[in-house]
Amino acid sequence: MAKRIVSLTSLTPTAVADATNFVNQQYFCILQGGTATQLLNIVEFYLGGLAGANAAMILLSSFDSTVGATITAGGTVDAPLSAATAALAAPMKIGNSATTQPQRSATLHLHNLTINAFGGELRLNYPLDQQAVIIGNAVNTGEVSVSMFTGGTAGAVGFHMIYEPA
C-alpha cells in the first residue's frame, strides 16, 4: 500500500488527563482502522513549535480506551504521499472531531512526544520493525490518538503523521 500523511498547519491543543473526553479540534488527530481487521503502520511523527514564548508541552501518542465515533477531519488534512495511490475499499477514519469523543488509555501510551512549542522540533521516524501498528477499529488496538497530557503549557505547534495501510 501507499503511505499517507495527516497534517495540521497549526494547533494550540487543550490538555486532557487519561480516560477523559477529548475536545473537538483541540487534539492533533485520531487514526482508526476502516474495518475490524485493517492494519495501519505509523511511520513518522513531526512536531514543530510555533509559539512566541516558552511552552513546554507533554504530548502523547496512545491507544484509546474509548474510540471516536463519526470521526471527521475537523482541522486535519489527510492526503496520499503518491499521486498514484488507489482508493481503499474501506478507508481508515482520521480527524480531530467526533460525535463520541475518544479517550486516551491510561495504560497504553505509545510515544512521548514532549516538545517546547517555542521553536522546538521533534521528528520520529521508525524502522519497519519498530513501527506502532493499529489493528482494526475497536478499543485498545484499533485507534491511536495524538494529544496533549496535563502538566504542561499549551503553545502553537505544526504537526504531521505519516502512516501506511497494510
* For range 57-74, the mean pLDDT: 96
| 89-148 confidence digits (pLDDT tens) | 889 999 999 999 999 999 999 999 999 999 999 999 988 888 999 999 998 899 999 999
In which residue are the cell numbers 477523559 written? Answer: 20
Split at pLDDT 50, 70, 90, the class of 86 is: confident
| 155-164 confidence digits (pLDDT tens) | 999 999 999 9
Nearest residue to 103 (alpha-carbon basis) of 142, 51, 64, 152: 64
| 23-56 confidence digits (pLDDT tens) | 999 999 999 999 999 999 999 999 999 999 999 9
Write down the pTM of the prediction: 0.94
Which grid cell is 67? 474510540
Distance (Å, whole) CA 65 – CA 142:
10
pLDDT value at 1 more than 80: no
Distance (Å, whole) CA 101 – CA 143:
12
- Whole-number pLDDT of residue 74: 95
Name which residue leads in pLDDT, 6 or 140.
6
Residue 131: Cβ within 10 Å count: 16
What are the sequence ranges of the domains in the chain? 4-165
CA distance readout (Å), 2 to 7, 23, 95, 118, 151? 17, 31, 19, 34, 37
* For range 71-79, the mean pLDDT: 96
Distance (Å, whole) CA 156 – CA 14:
11
% of the chain surpassing 70 pLDDT: 99
CA distance readout (Å), 49 to 9, 53, 56, 144, 149? 11, 10, 10, 22, 16
Distance (Å, whole) CA 53 – CA 51:
6
